[in-house]
Amino acid sequence: MLACGPIILSSWILALTTKSISALYAVRIIQGIAMAIPYAVTPMYIAEIAEPCLRGQLGSYFQVFFYIGVLYSYATGPYFEYQIYLYLECLPVILFIIVYSFMPESPYYLLMKEKEEEAYKALSWLRADEDVLQEFNDIKENVAEDMRNRGTWKALIATKKDRMALFIVEIVCLVRYTNGISTISLYITQTLTQGGAWVLNSDQMAIVLTTILIIVTTGASFAADTVGRRPLLLISTIGATLFHSVVAVYYYLHERTNVDVSAYMWISFIALLGFCVVANIGLGPLMSIMQAEYFPSHTRAKGAGITGVVTGVSCFVSIKTYQVVDDYFGIYMNYVIFALISLTGAIFFWAVVHETAGKSLGQVQKTLLSTSSESKFS
């Protein structure tokens, strides 16, 4: 995780010292590679250092701080000169390198490497010097049980439990990145412009939307451990289905009929905001948490790698097909597709996903084991 700091900082320095288009392409490629690190590793690290009763809340902050980073760029990019903006982008990276240098390694990882003394010290530091002997012994037992199996790629599908874990995580990932949240946040200005005129300009709307997402995701982080993962996923996908349906109907009437719906333009805006709210109550913050929870110690890193690939591909396809569907069918068809994906996700989560809130990582594996033994899906 520390490695991505200097990599991203070097990309901003490259942008500061050169102004060619090819250099900016290089900046994007370097940052794209660097971003793969936190997406794969951060949820895993948080899950391994957090107490079971706080794992959902702390894991949700991954999404919260992603939006804070987006807001930071939206709030500085349009209002500062190019060079000043680049200097401002360097500040969070430098802060991260300095602060994170003091963080300990994951106790799970240290135990996997048979460094028991270091693992105990790391856990004690993370728990503010509380009595951690019982928790340490539980973690040690879970790691020992997981490490009896080799951490190969084949281990991801070696047993019914492993196949169930991989299947659930990748379906959650697909629904998360193809039901519209990434695409809508990118095309929100264009979508609203096609619906009519607005008081705020595009930069201001982007700031307002991102601020709302931060507030909602922060609130949802407190519910991840109290309400539970499964109810939040169902609320998220069912709500997304309803809001997408409303937007689809509005734009169908606006584009394909002679019905004048301009007076009801606010409905589409409220529906889009509603979708952003429900998407970030469940799917947004919980995907990274479930990714870290469902894979055992010996396959957690490889599972995160596969999930990262699925994330990148699904997000790319969703974003790139949005304009194609808009050109051929109209913008309403995108929201029909988003609604169908969300509905499919809701049915899947209701039928397959079991609650993991408040359970240790070892208990999650036992739940998966019992579930896979009973489920025909496996």
Closest CA to 194 of 351, 373, 334: 334
- Residues near 105 by Cβ (< 8 Å), separated by ≥ 6? 118, 122
What pLDDT sits at residue 277?
84
Residue with tokens 């609203």: 192
**177 token code pair:** 């990145």
- Say if residues 362 and 142 touch (Cβ distance below 8 Å): yes
CA angle in degrees (0–180, nearest 5) for 196-202-203? 165
3-state secondary structure of 349: helix
* pTM for this model (two decimals): 0.74
Helices assigned H by DSSP within the chain: 4-17, 21-49, 55-76, 82-100, 107-112, 116-126, 133-146, 160-178, 181-195, 202-223, 229-256, 265-279, 283-294, 300-328, 331-352, 361-374
Distance CA 185, CA 93 (A): 24
- Residues near 243 by Cβ (< 8 Å), separated by ≥ 6? 271, 272, 274, 275, 278
- Say if residues 367 and 204 touch (Cβ distance below 8 Å): no
Tell me the per-residue pLDDT of 212-222, one tens digit each, with 9 for 90 and over.
888 888 887 77
What pLDDT sits at residue 228?
79
Ranges in the chain, pLDDT < 50? none
Closest CA to 244 of 350, 331, 349: 331
Closest CA to 242 of 345, 342, 349: 342
What pLDDT sits at residue 98?
93
